[in-house]
């Protein structure tokens, strides 16, 4: 209460003073937690009448928390006002003396997105264009005003832009752009230079980014390394480039040393896994090896290729040496298992032609195939699928055999083999004298004639039959039959035609009604046969 009374007395004092001195200026004093009071005065002096020089302060707030209070202090020694809190001015501020921001922790100027659209109130005011960090100053007021960048005249680069005492340039964002318009850009230092024509002269150039040039690049005077000791790709004439790539100048060695394929200074290429070309490949001057000592296939003109394949130039030897078939320099083929042709095969000028050989007819064949049978010394021709025939004239395969012994029937009404102990003429068949088996070597249609001098050893008349047997089966219609009436003998003969394949076995058998039946030799000649067999090929 005492404090409040003192404040009221102070108000009365100011009211009285304002009445006596006719104060027309006004000031408002706020008493904390109380009502407002007006103070009217043309001037208000705050200070101390103490002897000596003392500062004067106005303190705003009496809060126990210091940061909730503020003050304005008049520093007599420096003749400056000191404000201990931020000051926000909504109107303008004009300084006629110096403005010292040397101890400021931050100084900001007006910021705009684009100076071209910014309003200018006073000539020479400045703004910061936030889109690129450039500073502009106003040449003419307006909305927008007329602005231009700072340093319209050419400044000293080091004096204006160097960021430290060592003249290092710190661009902040890592981008450094030099725009010269139509003028030249020249660098003249004691270790590297760029002249007005763009020629670059440096002892060593190291780049961690992309180097791009459109007018060409010449590097000379020493070893030139590209991507040395790095793992990056080196591209030459990639993208949409259509220019020629030249390596070497016909006076130096060009060498490729990669981890997969190589080219030596002598031009030897190794390690290639394939060559694809749409043009002609020419190899001259030495031995050309393709797939040497490898297990990969070598393809020539495969796929959809329709071009001609030429081997040799009519002045050299062409030789094929494979593990199945060969062609010698003399043109001798060997190892072929078949030749298929849709046209004529011309052997004009050949002194001989050796066809395939075999001891017997193969099991299968196609019409037109042929071979030389080494057993019968005949040429065999496949006349229909899996059916061989002789390619010689009819009658070229034949048999004439006979027997000079008496052969008696061992069991009545039972056929038994007829034995032939002698071969007269035989070709295309095989027969061992003293046996009954005749084996055909050549397929064909054969005529068979069998003849015997039949007789009986005694007793009543009896019958005797001859028949042909092919592979153990009776040839239908081959049987010849007769009656034996006396012991002197009669001639019994029979003929039949049969289809024989190479390897078939032909036999002649006889049978009689009693065991008295027999075939016996007879006649007045030197050789007296008891039976004869004639076979000849009709087709």
Domain ranges of the chain: 2-83, 111-161, 362-390, 398-537
Band of residue 32 on the pLDDT scale cut at 50, 70, 90: low
Element (H, E) at 161: helix 157-161
Average pLDDT of the segment spanning 98-124: 86
Local structure of 286: helix, strand or coil: coil
| pTM of this structure | 0.36
Length of the chain, please? Answer: 539
Q: What is the pLDDT of residue 378?
A: 74
Give whichever of 369-373, 409-413, 458-462 has the largest mean pLDDT.
Answer: 409-413
Residue 443: what are its φ and ψ, rounded to 5°? -75, 150
Least confident of 40-49, 142-151, 278-287, 328-337: 40-49
Residue with more model confidence, 334 or 216: 334
Q: What is the pLDDT of residue 402?
A: 98
Least confident of 39-53, 231-245, 517-531: 39-53
Residue 513 has pLDDT above 80, yes or no: yes
Which of the 8 DSSP states describes residue 303? T
Q: What is the pLDDT of residue 2?
A: 43
Average pLDDT of the segment spanning 67-82: 80
Residue 170 has pLDDT above 70, yes or no: no
Structural fold of domain 398-537: Jelly Rolls (2.60.120)
> CB–CB of 499/470 below 8 Å?
no
Least confident of 248-262, 428-442, 505-519: 248-262
Distance between CA atoms of 495 and 451, rounded to whole angstroms? 9
Q: What is the pLDDT of residue 74?
A: 79
To 5 degrees, how large is the angle CA 88–CA 94–CA 98?
A: 105
Band of residue 87 on the pLDDT scale cut at 50, 70, 90: confident
Least confident of 123-137, 226-240, 316-330, 396-410: 226-240
Residues in a beta bridge with 13: none
The Cα-based distances of 492 to 368, 377, 434, 465 in angstroms read 42, 34, 21, 8
Other Cβ atoms closer than 10 A to 128: 15
Band of residue 78 on the pLDDT scale cut at 50, 70, 90: confident
Q: What is the pLDDT of residue 39?
A: 62
Show the tokens assigned to 419. 């034995």
> CB–CB of 475/511 below 8 Å?
no
> CB–CB of 131/113 below 8 Å?
yes
Q: What is the pLDDT of residue 478?
A: 96
Q: What is the pLDDT of residue 171?
A: 63
Band of residue 487 on the pLDDT scale cut at 50, 70, 90: low
Q: What is the mean pLDDT of the chain?
A: 80
Band of residue 174 on the pLDDT scale cut at 50, 70, 90: low
Band of residue 9 on the pLDDT scale cut at 50, 70, 90: very low
In 3D space, the residue among 121, 120, 178, 114 whose CA is nearest the CA of residue 144 turns out to be 120
């Amino acid at each position: 209460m005492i404090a409040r009374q003192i404040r009221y007395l102070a108000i009365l004092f100011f009211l009285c003073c304002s009445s006596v001195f006719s104060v027309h200026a006004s000031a408002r004093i706020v008493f904390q937690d109380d009502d407002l009071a007006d103070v009217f005065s043309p001037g208000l002096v705050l200070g101390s009448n103490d002897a000596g020089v003392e500062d004067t302060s106005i303190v705003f707030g009496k809060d126990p928390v210091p940061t909730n209070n503020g003050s304005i202090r008049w520093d007599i020694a420096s003749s400056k006002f000191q404000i201990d809190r931020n000051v926000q001015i909504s109107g303008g501020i004009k300084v006629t003396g110096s403005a010292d921001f040397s101890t400021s922790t931050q100084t900001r100027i007006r910021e705009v997105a684009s100076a071209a659209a910014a309003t200018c109130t006073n000539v020479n005011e400045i703004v910061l264009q936030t889109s690129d960090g450039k500073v502009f100053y106003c040449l003419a007021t307006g909305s927008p005003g007329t602005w231009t960048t700072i340093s319209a005249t050419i400044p000293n680069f080091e004096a204006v832009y160097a960021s430290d005492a060592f003249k290092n340039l710190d661009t902040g964002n890592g981008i450094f752009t030099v725009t010269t318009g139509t003028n030249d850009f020249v660098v003249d230092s004691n270790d590297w230079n760029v002249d007005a024509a763009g020629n670059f002269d440096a002892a060593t150039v190291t780049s961690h980014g992309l180097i791009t040039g459109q007018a060409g690049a010449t590097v000379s005077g020493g070893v030139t390394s590209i991507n040395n000791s790095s793992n990056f790709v080196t591209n030459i004439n990639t993208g949409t480039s259509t220019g020629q790539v030249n390596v070497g100048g016909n006076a130096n060695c060009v060498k490729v040393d990669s981890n997969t394929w190589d080219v030596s200074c002598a031009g030897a290429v190794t390690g290639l896994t394939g060559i694809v070309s749409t043009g002609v490949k020419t190899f001259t001057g030495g031995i050309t090896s393709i797939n040497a000592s490898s297990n990969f296939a070598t393809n020539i003109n495969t796929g959809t290729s329709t071009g001609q394949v030429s081997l040799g130039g009519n002045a050299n030897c062409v030789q094929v040496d494979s593990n199945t078939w060969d062609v010698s320099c003399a043109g001798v083929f060997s190892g072929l298992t078949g030749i298929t042709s849709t046209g004529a095969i011309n052997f004009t000028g050949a002194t001989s032609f050796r066809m395939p050989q075999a001891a017997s007819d193969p099991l299968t064949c196609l019409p037109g195939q042929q071979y030389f049978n080494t057993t019968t010394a005949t040429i065999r021709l496949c006349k229909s699928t899996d059916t061989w025939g002789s390619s010689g004239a009819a009658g070229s395969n034949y048999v004439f055999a006979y027997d000079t012994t008496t052969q008696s029937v061992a069991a009545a009404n039972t056929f038994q083999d007829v034995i032939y102990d002698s071969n007269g003429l035989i070709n295309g068949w095989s027969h061992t004298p003293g046996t009954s088996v005749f084996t055909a070597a050549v397929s064909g249609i054969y005529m068979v004639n069998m003849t015997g001098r039949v007789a009986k050893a005694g007793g009543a008349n009896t019958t005797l039959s001859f028949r042909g047997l092919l592979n153990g089966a009776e040839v239908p219609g081959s049987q010849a039959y007769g009656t034996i009436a006396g012991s002197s003998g009669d001639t019994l003969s029979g003929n039949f035609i049969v289809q024989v394949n190479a390897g078939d076995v032909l036999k002649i058998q006889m049978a009689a009604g009693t065991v008295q039946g027999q075939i016996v030799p007879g006649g007045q000649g030197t050789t007296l046969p008891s039976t004869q067999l004639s076979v000849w090929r009709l087709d």
